[in-house]
Structure 1
């Protein structure tokens, strides 16, 4: 990684001053939500969307369940965001359990609803632990999906990247080759899988640059408040959870408020170190909860135009 004089100065300031003192607030952020499964979850998701809207994110995305299991709810969520907020909505789309014609039909529906940004993914098999097999007549991988989407309309397309290597990849080199194919097919940027140390991202950034990839690589940030749940997520995507993180949450099972404080502190510190290393864009996996992402953004100097009622109420409680 090439370090500029400005980055060295920023790193020195981060070490000598209070960690979050005078952060410029010049980072761009984006937020990811998952589609609600029932009316109560829909209300919670919408509250999270509205709470984070005043931060002016670059875009917000809505995920797509394994095997396309949340197709209709994903479409409904992104369409509502596009229709009823000032936000730019992005819809996740996968290759799983569908023909090209079926996927293209979904993409056409997004375009008709005003959605211009797609997060194109290979997707997880509908049965956890089984090997991915492309659907007969479907897109064989994310690179093919990107190319197909770009043939339909001039979508802005984001794809996934894996700092610790995708579990299905033969090697780190093969994984980087796959990332390059997705970008060469027309994707604008890559969003990384979550990770828990800044060094993981910086090493990946070095490998990406050495491979000749110049596209934006947004770090994906997952604020952890439920370690057991996060371990399940991490096992699925080959992400390492440091031992120290598990120890920090010991004894907090019955203290959700304290878990939130610890989670925000850990994630914000990592973001601050990434910022000191020149990162100016962050993608937050919100899990449909606004508080942690809002707090981290605030520490990074990003200010809301007005304090959302949900955040203000939580702070007063």
Structure 2
């Protein structure tokens, strides 16, 4: 059976040999090593599209980034599993129809252990061996009260163990430069991260941040608490700000307000007219992201992970500013 996949062509059903594809899949850590020969690698995060137009936009961004050779790409997962079917399908297509290394998000919220095992099996059947394991945010209100599924797990550490017990999967977890908003303090938060790494996670990707010092102090805390686990890659996550509206989105995603120094720069660029100077805010946001990325490179970050919101242009501009090779002009804003 053929289907239109939003990329202007039809493709056959996924081959039955998907599990053979899985067996040849490198890990994120292996890919970081492979890509580090020419400098600090980069990676990007996509979101499951809501409709056909969104899927077409996603694939335009995918093809743009494919020409830039990221170390990996990740696909997020809706709160409470709201986009699980779409996430599994598209992440599988990234594995079978591109040269990219996909990482699928897997969240515990709203799922029983049986459902989580089934999802892992679906990923394996789709050619996915790299999973980013998260406890996940409550649906509707990311900062709301978290409730364990009656037949689920309480912490991401438990989900890491479940995934590792299911087969030869490579697992990453989340880390929080300013601490998770539900942790009572930074020491408690660092204990949880170290436990996830000891459970079998090979690396972590941070929540986005806008002060590089927070990332550096996170790295220091993990090394001080557990030097062995602290040697595993902690990948910083960045999001170029392109409008004051994306500032609000950034604060919703990380549960923190932006540093005053960053907001001052963006508000100055926005001007005092009733409508913000969108071009000026965007230019300032690109500059801020470039400065942060350069500092992270200088401080020895193992990779730069960009939230793209399924657009290629802003991230491509930051990478170009940093000297990364772009082999084709960005297609979308």
Pick the TM interval, shorter chain: 0.7 to 0.9
1:91 aligns to 2:104 (yes or no): yes
- How far did residue 25 of structure 1 move? 5.1
Where does the alignment leave 5 or more consecutive residues of structure 1 unmatched? 1-23
Deviations 1:26-75 (A, max 9, x none): 01111001100011111111111111111211110010011111111111
1:173 aligns to 2:195 (yes or no): no
Aligned residue number for residue 11 of structure 2: none
CA contact (8 A) 2:138 2:146 kept: yes
1:199 aligns to 2:220 (yes or no): no
CA contact (8 A) 1:227 1:246 kept: no
- Which of these residues, 214, 237, 240, is aligned with residue 231 of structure 2? 214
- Greater RCO (CA < 8 Å, at least 6 residues apart): 1
- Which of these residues, 64, 71, 82, is aligned with residue 58 of structure 1? 71
CA distance in structure 2 between the aligned counterparts of 1:46 and 1:84, rounded to whole angstroms: 11
TM-score by length of 2: 0.82
TM-score by length of 1: 0.85
- Paired residues for 1:217-296 under 5 Å: 217-235=234-252, 237-250=254-267, 251=270, 253-296=275-318
CA distance in structure 1 between the aligned counterparts of 2:110 and 2:302, rounded to whole angstroms: 36
Aligned residue number for residue 298 of structure 1: 320
Segment of structure 1 superposing worse, 267-276 or 222-231? 222-231
CA contact (8 A) 1:27 1:302 kept: no
CA contact (8 A) 2:107 2:133 kept: yes
Where does the alignment leave 5 or more consecutive residues of structure 2 unmatched? 1-36
Instruction: Tell me: CA distance 1:126–1:274, structure 2 relative to 1, closer, same or farther (3 Å).
Output: same
CA distance in structure 1 between the aligned counterparts of 2:279 and 2:54, rounded to whole angstroms: 20
CA distance in structure 2 between the aligned counterparts of 1:157 and 1:226, rounded to whole angstroms: 34
RMSD across aligned positions (CA): 1.9
